[in-house]
Structure 1
Amino acid sequence: MIIVFWVVAGLMALMYLAAGTMKVVRPKPALQAAGMGWTEEVSEPGIKLIGLAEILGALGLLLPVATGIFEILSPIAGACLTVLMAGAVVVHHRRGEPVAFQVALTVLTLAATGLAVLATV
């Protein structure tokens, strides 16, 4: 089961790390130009905080299990990322945008959270 955790959680962590870094590094107009229409409704500091939450969640998903220190933080980080993605689903749905991608990421993040629980037992 630990191998499945590393595959799923590793892929999810890479995705969140990349997405979060992009939100932290790029200015709001560049994100809007890249097709992130939701950024129109969020302040620049808010976008940066979302990006920071994604980065910290990605690290929190993997590092506790990798180091064997406070392993309980891994499923907690996964749960927080799941809540973050559920919020993304709501925002995109409210804007009338397709939500299939966000729903899929929410489900995969929930799976990584469940696997994190199993990996820490």
Structure 2
Amino acid sequence: MNIALWITAGLLAIASLGGGAMLLTQPKEKLAGSGWAWVEDFGAGAVKAIGALKVLAAVGLILPAVLDIAPVLVPLAAVGWLLLMVGAAITHLRRREASAIVVNVVLFAMAAFVVLGRFGFPPFAG
């Protein structure tokens, strides 16, 4: 179970870091033209804030456990990811982008697995 939780948290961290870095480094206009149409509904500052939250989630999903410093932060970061996915799904629903919600649901399920696995079982046990 621990290996599955590590793999899931790692995959979430990769997705989170990639998406967050893209939101932080690219101008809003470029993002809107390259498949991130939802950014049109938000100001540039909000897009950067979402990017920063995603980068922080990536860090929180991995570093506390790797460094063995406050490993409870891992499931808390996954809870933050759950909230991000709920917000993303709501945004896609409002924009009538039902196909994009599938990705949100998959990422939500992965984060829920990390939350339940890390809060529900002895943390980081073999």
Give TM-score scaled by structure 1 length: 0.94
What number of residue pairs does the alignment pair up?
Answer: 121
- SS where residue 71 of structure 2 aligns? coil
2:102 aligns with one of 97, 100, 113: 100
1:6 Cα deviation after fit: 1.2
Kept after mapping to 2: 8 A contact 1:88/1:102? yes
Match of 1:120 in 2: 123
**Structure 2 segments unaligned to the other structure (5+ residues):** none
Structure 1 contact 61–74 (Cα < 8 Å) conserved: yes
Deviations 1:10-58 (A, max 9, x none): 0110010000000000000110011211111100010000000000011
Alpha-carbon separation, structure 2, partners of 1:25 and 1:42: 16
Q: Which amino acid aligns with 2:81?
A: L
Contact 1:31/1:39, CA 8 A, preserved across alignment: yes
Tell me what 1:56 maps to: 56
How far apart, in 2, do the equivalents of 1:21 and 1:8 lie?
20
Give the match for residue 14 of structure 1. 14
TM-score normalised by structure 2 residue count: 0.90
Structure 1: which 5+ runs fail to align?
Answer: none
Over the matched positions of the two proteins, sequence identity in percent amounts to 32
